[in-house]
Amino acid sequence: MAEINKRVGLNIRKYRKKKSWSQEQLAFEADLHRAYIGQIERGEKNIGLMNLEKISKALTIRLEVLFKN
């Protein structure tokens, strides 16, 4: 599992939980499937840039924040 996938996934989970959202809520807001959100958060999926942008917009955070340690 690539380290960057794990880092991005953990950051997505952190900001999702700050909003008190379930994976289902984030999936709805980002127009993505709930199972896909779970796979991203666990670092199992290589997320595409367009989907990463959808998630950052849904979470109302800048895209680059998702790459920070």
9 lies in some domain:
yes
User: The CATH number of the domain where 38 resides is what?
Assistant: 1.10.260.40
Domain span at residue 33?
3-59
Across the chain, mean pLDDT equals: 96
Please check the confidence at residue 1 and state whether its pLDDT lies above 90: no
Region 39-64 average pLDDT = 96
68 lies in some domain:
no
Region 8-25 average pLDDT = 98
Sign of the Cα torsion 58, 63, 23, 19 reads negative
pTM: 0.93
14 lies in some domain:
yes
C-beta of residue 9 within 8 angstroms of C-beta of residue 41: yes
Q: How far is Cα 37 from Cα 58, in angstroms, rounded to an integer? A: 12
50 lies in some domain:
yes
Give the count of domains, the chain. Answer: 1
40 lies in some domain:
yes
Please check the confidence at residue 31 and state whether its pLDDT lies above 70: yes
